[in-house]
Amino acid sequence: MTDISTRAALPAGHGLLPASLDAFRKLAPRHAVRNPVMAVVWLGTVVTAGATLAGHASAGFGAAVTLILFITVLFANFAEAVAEARGRGQAASLRRARQDLVARRLDAAGRETTIAAAALRPGDRVVVDEGQLVPADGEIIEGLATLNEAAVTGESAPVLREAGTDRSGVIGGTRVLSDRIVVRVTAEPGHSFLDRMIALVEGSSRQKTPNEIALGIVLAVMTLTFLFVVISLPFIGGFVGVQINVVLLVALLVCLIPTTIGGLLPAIGIAGMNRALKANVLAKSGKAVEVAGDVDVLLLDKTGTITHGDRQATAFHALAGVDDAVLRQAALLASLADPTPEGKSIVRLAQQDGAAATAPAAAHFVAFTAQTRMSGVDLPDGRVIRKGALDAIARHVQALQGRVPAELQARVDDVARKGATPLVVSDGRHVLGVVELADVIKHGLRERFARLREMGVRTVMITGDNPLTAANIAADTGVDDYIAEARPEDKLARIRAEQAGGRLVAMVGDGTNDAPALAQADVGLAMNAGTQAAKEAGNMVDLDSDPAKLLAVVEIGKQQLITRGALTTFSLANDVSKYFAILPALFAAAIPSLAALDVMRLSSPASAVLSALIFNALVIPALIPLALRGVRFRPTSATRLLRNNMLVYGLGGVLLPFAGIKLIDMALAAAFTF
Amino acid sequence: MSEPFLLLALLVALGWPLGRYLAAVMRAEPMRGDRFFGWLERPLYAALGTRPETGMGWRAYAAAFLASNLLLGTVVWIIFMTQAWLPLNPDAIPNMRWDLALHTMVSFLTNTNQQHYSGQAQLSYLAQMTGVVGLQVVTPVMGLALAAATLRGLCGGRQAPGRPPGGVPADAHADVGNYWADVIRATLRFVLPLCLAWSALLTWQGVPATLAGGPLATPIDAAATLKEQKIPLGPVAPLVAIKQLGSNGGGWYGPNSAVPLENPTPLSDFLEVLAIGLIPVSIVFMIGPFTGRRRFGAMVFGTMLLMSVISTGLALWSEGHSASAADLALMEGKEVRLGTDASALWAALTTQVNNGSVNAMLDSTAPLTGLVAMVNMLINAIWGGVGCGLQQFIVYLLLAVFLAGLMTGRTPELFGRKIEGPEVKLLAVLILLQPLVILGFTAAALAIPGLAGTSSPGFHGLSQVFYEYVSAFANNGSGFEGLGDGTVWWNLSCTVALIAGRYPALVIPLAIAARLAAKRRAPEGPGTLAIETPTFALTLIGIVIILTLLQFMPVLVLGPVADHLALGSLIAR
């Protein structure tokens, strides 16, 4: 996977200036009201400014409070702007890929006209030749080609796309490296993959996720309750002779409402989408990423997902009385001209084991056909070497008046039981032995499934293999369950069954026959290499076409929630120490005995209030990196996760501000005299 | 000092079997006594036109609850305002003024028993026995019914017989039980037998139980102004039994169990303290067998026990050892017959359990004891009132699940059902209501001259007013006293606080539970947050503190904390 930031137009530090400008632009009331917590701070700024001008508080103190509140709002805007700027860098490079595309459209008679790509409609057929850019999203209906999709995926290794296969989808803006293809356009102008991606990374089409909405309500409620507290306070305080001016009240309010999480909440949401993109996963909505964090069951196809999909020779099994070297040599000769990956892997394995790699010049190679279901070689010395399935070779040998040894069946069964495919090799009318072809399991899958299991996600493998083979592969890879001899409709049925049990299901697929299952699943991760139907049906597309990518998405989804929860806890826990700073400052003038509550021994009431406010403001930029990166997530039990986060963000949130406020107070006392 | 430990041991020893029995009652399991109770219950069901096995959706359940309250309230209000003309009034007590009658009625209807009157002087025997005792019996049971219905909802609704457990189809109207059956069964099979036992025990200890008018006595310090004193009596023992057991707290006499006639001996004092906690603790023990989630029941018990032990310990320390407690100069109004430990123990328990009865005047306790009492009532879920304590606990539980769920990286879910926007909105109403009502009225009463009627100026006066509204909203009913609270303002503002503190707090958790019951249930797997763990319990306590205390911190600082510091510096001088 290539890091998407390598193709971002701007290096990370370079976006700070536009982000700062954006922070001011976001002061517009239209934008401000979208975030109730920060809107209250913004309103408080206006109120303190007015009160200071009207002479309700000393000019210096009033101005200081107003300024700090204003900066608090700016910091929150800045956090959002930074997150957006990161996405915008990606969007800029995407936009370049979209610019100035021209299309060679074919009409019904097959004539070509050159038009602007923007004029294309779904159903149009276009021709793309070597070196040209694909003008729009579509499906190859004729030919095959290698493409460079670096503009979209950041991955410059060419990919192969072919008509009539599960890998027929092409994306507008990518370049054809070889051959000529005819593409049927599938996207409306302005709704292409690139357009959607640009909108997503810029955050313009971002909708709040359900959890974000629920959390937003909690934060609004906490803000409102503290508003009641602050409004009622002068009336209650008046009874015991405490007079509190408006500036102090606003300061208290801003310290109490959850500004930390309120200021960072939009940034967390945008950053989550960006992190998904960075993992080269294009989620169609923020909700999809969040739901991924809740997934209970993951369904995967065996072929191409768990295994490489092409079988490789892993061992030779000579029959009794046959020398291993003889079998190796025969298998090697039979495969020298075999262009399939299986044939090549036999050659490779035989050479590794020491067989010679040359064939006599006059050898006649026999290719595999559907009728004979064998391939091999006829040597000039009259030897006829064949390899093929058991029944094909048995028929071949019997036709030559040979005898099929009883031992063969047992050997073939042994191999099959291991989940491998047996290939029988014969020389003339003698059966020599069996080549074991295994579907090689992808490296590191076991660890990934174990990690998923730790997160509470069960993996289910879907395979067309017989139950014996399926069980073997399941045990090898560590999947929790498998469906053997599965037909395409079994996938859908399994998803429905799991959902009926209340579980959230993720499905990884690429083929057109996966589309219903991808649509039915709560999280459908389609492979970018897959068909257009699959990509439309899923709610996420993996640009790297790496099925195990779901692991990354699940982690990002969980991180999103954890970051929000942790910062909310932190924000509320901070209130304890802020009370200890502000309440004595507020009341001590009228009630000297309350100075006993000033456990931090702050230098003066004015400095106490300012210190608490400055701490409150500084926490926001200090936590921007955490909001963008997300709270670290390690798969572990939910209880341990909760304990760790409560200790760090709950207990830490109570204690940290005591130190922070005291330090700021000392700095203020040293710099100014109050 | 062994009394608190003995009390705790007895609460557990009695609460455990009572909780199991209560679960069987609420689950309508076959039991001994079915024939006897069936004979009592069947006519009641027939009169109400209901069949006990018919289930109700949450709307029907809540509607039945509200309708029964409206009806009872109207009848009792009329009795209070016309008692002079009604029978059983040997002491010729006059009719009650409309606003005082309204407040008194609402106060008893909401299981609060906040008293702006003196029972022995302002209520006839009939009014005491119907309006007071009648409501004292039935209103706690209503709370219990709502809590049981909420628990049914949280567990996906009541199972029809024969349906496999967990196989409830997702339907918008989960069966949360039958309101009438819940109230009638719990009253007849649980509350009344307990009351009977306690009245007998208290009568044995010397609490009066008579329908005759009170005798005249000549005091030994008879003076020209007071030659003879009328000793008010009446059927006191049964009322004291139910006021203690049913988290009611409204005594026969104005000064409540501080009067020797209501609380004659140390043993009666212990019996009455035990009764305060008995039913609330039994309800916590009921959760496990009632829902089949024993570990959940254990978590609730452990959480409440921890909060209770801390709160009680603080009250005992404050009353016995804090700077503003032990000084002779501050002995005004202290209870000396049973001692300060007994006062503190009672004060802690009566506010944890939202009972509200007192055996010493809180006005005269150390300021920090008052602080503990206020905090107990603001939390209102350390055991809590009958039923309503559990409802309030469920509110905290849902909020804790929400935050903790986020922190474990999953959409928050309770028992496999997701807590989403609509549920959080309903919770938001409850979170907002408490500061709005309490702070709003406190500010108004203190800021508008002539409204408060406090007996002390300054911090203590502030505490008196704040305490009154906290107590009303928490449906506790205890008073800081020393407050001239018999005015139209106090009666009406407290009436509003009482209603706002009772009905939303009982109905909204039920509505949320029913909404959750209608959702698809996810099986609990390794990734789901287990709520039956100490980690979660501590998180929940943290949420309780953050949510409740932060909002009231400034007032608590200006009231009891300032009071304490001022007294402390006074003593030091």
Output the DSSP codes for B238-285.
Answer: HHHHHHHHTT----SSTTGGGSTTTS-SHHHHHHHHHHHHHHHHHHHH
| Closest by CA position to B498, among listed B139, B252, B244, B246 | B139
Q: Which run of H or E residues covers position A113?
A: strand A112-116
Q: Using a CB-CB distance cutoff of 8 angstroms, which residues of chain A are in contact with residue B411?
A: 210-211, 290-291, 293-294, 561
Residue B567: closest C-alpha in chain A: A593
**Where do the domains of chain B lie?**
386-563
Q: Which residues pair with B561 in a beta bridge?
A: none
Are A242 and B440 inside 8 Å of each other by CB? no
For residue B409, the distance in angstroms to the closest alpha carbon of chain A comes to 4
Q: Give the pLDDT confidence score for residue B142 in this predicted structure.
A: 94
Q: Does the pLDDT at position A8 exceed 60? A: no
For residue B306, the distance in angstroms to the closest alpha carbon of chain A comes to 18
- Regarding pTM above 0.90, the answer is no
- Compute the 3-state secondary structure of chain A and give helix, strand, coil in percent, each to the nearest 5: 55, 15, 30
| Closest by CA position to A569, among listed B413, B392, B547 | B547
- Listed in sequence order, the residues at least 6 apart from A521 whose beta carbon sits closer than 8 Å to its beta carbon are A299, A495, A505, A506, A507
In angstroms, how far is CA B466 from the centroid of its own chain? Answer: 18
Q: How far apart are CA B282 and CA B193, in angstroms?
A: 14
- Terminal CA-CA length for chain A: 57
Q: What is the mean pLDDT of chain A?
A: 82
Which residue ranges of chain B lie beneath pLDDT 50?
A: 160-172
Q: How far apart are CA B482 and CA B362, in angstroms?
A: 9
Q: Using a CB-CB distance cutoff of 8 angstroms, which residues of chain B are in contact with residue A453?
A: 526
Q: Give the pLDDT confidence score for residue B505 in this predicted structure.
A: 94
By the 10 Å C-beta count (0-12 exposed, 13-18 middle, 19+ buried), A379 is classed as middle
Q: Give the pLDDT confidence score for residue B329 in this predicted structure.
A: 62
Q: What is the pLDDT of residues B242-253, one digit of tens each?
A: 888 988 887 777
Q: What is the pLDDT of residues A340-360, one digit of tens each?
A: 777 888 888 888 887 776 777
- Listed in sequence order, the residues at least 6 apart from B375 whose beta carbon sits closer than 8 Å to its beta carbon are B311, B548, B549, B556
Q: Which of A218, A457, A597 sits opposite B424 (nearest CB)?
A: A218
Q: Which of A241, A594, A641 sits opposite B557 (nearest CB)?
A: A594
Interface test with A, best of B418, B544, B558 (most A CBs within 10 A): B558
Are B527 and A639 inside 8 Å of each other by CB? no
Residue B436: closest C-alpha in chain A: A228
Lowest mean pLDDT among A219-223, A622-626, B77-81, B354-358: B354-358
Cα dihedral sign, A204-A210-A216-A219: negative
Q: How far apart are CA A285 and CA A208, in angstroms?
A: 9
Q: How far apart are CA A232 and CA A330, in angstroms?
A: 95
Q: How far apart are CA A418 and CA B138, in angstroms?
A: 72
Contact B494, B100 (CB under 8 A): no
Q: Give the pLDDT confidence score for residue A308 in this predicted structure.
A: 66
Q: Kindly name the residue from A22, A301, A514, A665 that is annotated as catalytic.
A: A301
Q: Give the pLDDT confidence score for residue B572 in this predicted structure.
A: 65
Q: How far apart are CA A186 and CA A536, in angstroms?
A: 10
Q: How far apart are CA B280 and CA B351, in angstroms?
A: 12
Residue B445: closest C-alpha in chain A: A236
Q: How far apart are CA A548 and CA A550, in angstroms?
A: 5
Q: A370: helix, coil or strand? A: coil
Q: What is the pLDDT of residues A66-106, one digit of tens each?
A: 999 999 999 999 988 888 877 776 667 666 666 667 788 88
User: For residue A542, what are its two tokens?
Assistant: 């993996």
Scan residues 411-450 of B and list those with Cβ closer than 8 Å to A.
Answer: 411-412, 416, 419-421, 423-425, 428, 431-432, 435-436, 439-440, 442-444, 446-447
- Listed in sequence order, the residues at least 6 apart from B127 whose beta carbon sits closer than 8 Å to its beta carbon are B79, B80, B83, B86, B93
Q: Give the pLDDT confidence score for residue A285 in this predicted structure.
A: 74
- Terminal CA-CA length for chain B: 31
Q: Give the pLDDT confidence score for residue A674 in this predicted structure.
A: 56
Q: Using a CB-CB distance cutoff of 8 angstroms, which residues of chain B are in contact with residue A646?
A: 407, 535, 538-539, 542
For residue A460, the distance in angstroms to the closest alpha carbon of chain B comes to 16
Q: How far apart are CA A386 and CA A402, in angstroms?
A: 14
Mean pLDDT over A617-646 rounds to 88
Q: Is A301 a catalytic residue?
A: yes
Q: Give the pLDDT confidence score for residue A7 in this predicted structure.
A: 37
Are B546 and A572 inside 8 Å of each other by CB? yes
Higher pLDDT, A271 or B573: A271
Q: Which of B424, B530, B535 sits opposite A214 (nearest CB)?
A: B424
Higher pLDDT, A302 or A112: A112
Residue pointed to by tokens 């909020």: B399
A568 φ/ψ sector (left φ>0, alpha ψ -120 to 50, else beta): alpha
Q: How far apart are CA A133 and CA A190, in angstroms?
A: 17
B192 in contact with chain A, both atoms CB, cutoff 8 A: no
